Structure 1
Amino acid sequence: MPEGSSTSGREAVTILGLAGHHVEVCDPSRWCLSRYSRFVRKFHHCPPLRTDPAGFLHFIERLMASQHFDVLLPTHEQGFLFARAGQRLQGGAGLALPDFAAYRMVHSKAGFSRLLDQLNLPQPPTRIVTSADELRGAMRFPSVVKTSIGTASRGIWFVRDGSDLDLALNELESAGDFAGEVLVQDLITGTVEKAQSVFCRGTLAGFHAYRQVAAGVGGGEAIKESVGRPAIRSAIETIGAHLNWHGALSVDVIMPLDSTTPLLIDCNPRLVEPMNGYVASIDLVDLLLCVSLGETPVPLAEGRAGVRTHLAMQALLGSASRDGTRRELIRECGRIAGGDGLYRDSTEELTPVQHDWPGAVPLAITAALLLVSPAIATSLARGGFGAHLLDRASIAAIESEDFLRDISMRRPGEGRDP
């Protein structure tokens, strides 16, 4: 696994470990989340994807050349780089990715919005702008403003009035985000849901959906529940078939309060926190391994609806960011530990200490830090936006012809140590 910092990566480690697989993880952080797992047999400290994508690629190539690996399993934005340099990685290990043009299209929020229009699939009313003046002209309150590139809830502003708009404009201009495209979408009231899937050469092989029961910090899910969503399944199947998708594909959806039509709002070319599906009896990680190894799997039946899971770390961060008091934080700890309230019959998915005791370490550290100072919840959450992620500059570097020419001048596996 070429990263171990994300929640999606950490959950994949658990699923792989419970199945008895030998798992090795690379990450630029020596204290990434996946290091706190008994299922990780070996950790490799690698160059940062964000600031040194060429060095990161050469490190991965050199590692795969040094020993045998069955599968290279990108669980976050490393897939963007691997799809770009796909020919160099062929034969080193099994890898399930579509061609770069397809990956690039859904990785970009603007590209995904245009794809939805092309396929006549529902999304909130959306405008794409490239300047502050255009954004002001396109604004209808309330709206959501998004940079075209961004993950883990980065680059998103909820704009309900003029002061929110001024704040968003100031941050967009300060970061230089108008050098790219910015989306303005009408803010739709409804339930946030997510669906993830695995495709084998354009054919849907597995699908799972869940709804948000309670939000954590930054809008992520703290508690989720599996649901059956044939309309979302149909939409993602249409997208995958059109792009001849190969590998994992996930979408974010709003279920409006006044409509039964799901609105697609974002896309991730990977699995996003696959443990809820695993608990609901649909193992998309195992399915992705099969596709990565070149197999043509029998499509999986959908998992059980009504299965509830939670991420205790995200729940504590969310509680601290909303309420900001130690008393409420202690109550939340009690509800999680006792399985009370919304946590009744819910399974811990990120740090399942009953199966993987080292996972208690980051959970305990998070709880202790929040009890000392609940106000640091947002800054703690931002710690996950690390060097394993891409930004606008690194994406531009990977897309450039100079990047391909530079890496082609070196033999596969040749590069510097981290």
Structure 2
Amino acid sequence: MIDASKPLRVLVPEGSSTSAREAITIVGLAGHHVEVCDPSRWCLARYSRFVRKFHHCPGLRSDPAGFLRFVEQLLASQHFDVLLPTHEQGFLFARAGVQLASRVALALPDFAAYRTVHGKAGFSRLLDQLGLPQPPTRIVRSANELREAVRFPSVVKTSVGTASRGVWFVRDAGDLNRALDDLEAAEDFAGEVLVQDLIAGITEKAQSVFCRGKLLGFHAYQQVAAGIGGGEAIKQSVSRPVIRTSLERIGAHLGWHGALSVDVVMPRDSGTPLLIDCNPRLVEPFNAYRAGTDLVDVLLRVSRGEVPVPLAESRTGVRTHLAMQALLGSASRDGTRRGIVRECGRMMMGRGAYQGSTEELTPVRLDWLSAVPLAMTAMLLLASPRIATRLARGGFGAHLLDRASIQMIESEDFPPVVPDKRSAIRDP
């Protein structure tokens, strides 16, 4: 681990995602100084004792150039040892890697490699190129092509999308028509759309950290219980050497530098794991941390130019949960206050699927401030269980990218040369 006697000053460029919130806990527990910038004054990270200072910034989605200038000005006015992107800011920072590298330590691959796996279509083509397993996949660009390509049941995905955005489960003609209506309304056929056969099985995720194409840390977990939108409410660590090998091939081929995660489905009728999605970042790293694999520490080291010794394999059977996701999932499925109260009781008593499980998103015993968003979520759901879907949709915040902002970042004249006074640093 990094020498605790020399704490680092770490800037986390968003505080709204579950991944950022968990990374902050791990960095804070290691004794490092953490500051956060986010377009939302009430993001999850505001409710953590580990955050020393919060900076209110422009939105990545609405003003990527302003967001970049804000970060650059912050780095110029204060000293930070590491810039730690935990979500889609990595796309922007990879594009501006040269100018950021002179100001702060940062672990990201070159922009071409990042673009390859940031879009679902690019990742699918990469899997084909490397001969790695994925569900049968077709890439289309129109409603007619989609109608011809779909086979029930299927999953339809926009090439760009995160936080469960741009995904439709199509089991019949009615589902297909609804997906088509949504895609055409959002003009998603301006880009590429994927159609994948829906494979019955268990959803798993694998996370890794690379140093110039060399795998240094790996962890995998499977979904024990789903929350709202299909995300993990309860997860458990597993050993997946086959997936590790696949990630090693991907990372070596791309010369990957930094964090890389993949989503996997383990088919019920086959032992071959199928890769279904890629995230060029660490996704919710606390389960790995509890299982003895501190991927955040390795990422900090790699950011600072170190080449740490590869980590040993994680402990298997380590169970963790996200209480907020579990409550939202319970409300969306059961829709009753009694069901929410029962779920709270099981979590508090450690019963059923929660037996032996540790809270990872709002670890109240480690960070008392995290009780605030958890309590607010519980109270809102008890007041109106039907609000669960609306609360979950709130996860699509200004810290995320959309097609327009991606095109702006990819343009030849990005970032604009003319300074924008509106992006001056603003603290609450």
TM category, shorter: over 0.9
Per-residue CA distance 1:255-279 (angstroms, 9 max, x = gap): 0000000000000000000000000
2:294 is the alignment partner of 1:283 = yes
The one of 239, 243, 251 aligned to 1:232: 243
The equivalent residue for 2:141 is: 130
Aligned length: 415
2:54 is the alignment partner of 1:8 = no
- Once the two structures are superposed, the pairs formed by residues 189-338 of structure 1 within 5 Å of their partners are 189-338=200-349
Deviation at 1:414, TM superposition (A): 10
2:169 is the alignment partner of 1:147 = no
CA distance in 1, matches of 2:159, 2:389: 23
The equivalent residue for 2:357 is: 346
Deviation at 1:403, TM superposition (A): 1.8
The equivalent residue for 2:6 is: none
Q: Is the 8 A contact 1:62 1:414 kept in 2?
A: no
> TM-score with structure 1 length normalisation?
0.98
CA distance in 1, matches of 2:181, 2:37: 36
Per-residue CA distance 1:123-149 (angstroms, 9 max, x = gap): 000000000000000010000000000
Q: Is the 8 A contact 1:199 1:206 kept in 2?
A: yes
The one of 35, 51, 55 aligned to 2:66: 55
The equivalent residue for 1:80 is: 91
CA distance in 2, matches of 1:416, 1:50: 18
Q: Is the 8 A contact 2:57 2:423 kept in 1?
A: no
Amino acid at match of 1:276: N
CA distance in 2, matches of 1:388, 1:77: 8
Deviation at 1:156, TM superposition (A): 0.1
Runs of 4+ in 1 over 2 A off after TM superposition: 413-418
Q: Is the 8 A contact 1:216 1:319 kept in 2?
A: yes
SS in 2 for 1:401: coil
CA distance in 1, matches of 2:403, 2:60: 12
CA distance in 1, matches of 2:403, 2:245: 32
Deviation at 1:381, TM superposition (A): 0.7
The equivalent residue for 1:43 is: 54
Give structure 2 stretches of 5+ with no counterpart.
1-11
Q: Is the 8 A contact 1:47 1:417 kept in 2?
A: no
Deviation at 1:410, TM superposition (A): 5.0
Deviation at 1:402, TM superposition (A): 2.4
The equivalent residue for 1:381 is: 392
Deviation at 1:88, TM superposition (A): 1.0
CA distance in 2, matches of 1:165, 1:410: 46
State percent identity of aligned pairs: 77
CA distance in 2, matches of 1:42, 1:326: 37
Per-residue CA distance 1:38-59 (angstroms, 9 max, x = gap): 0000000000000000000000
Per-residue CA distance 1:98-135 (angstroms, 9 max, x = gap): 00000011000000000000000000000000000000
2:412 is the alignment partner of 1:401 = yes
SS in 1 for 2:82: coil
> TM-score with structure 2 length normalisation?
0.96
Q: Is the 8 A contact 2:28 2:50 kept in 1?
A: yes
CA distance in 1, matches of 2:73, 2:313: 39
Amino acid at match of 1:235: S
Amino acid at match of 2:13: P
Amino acid at match of 1:156: V
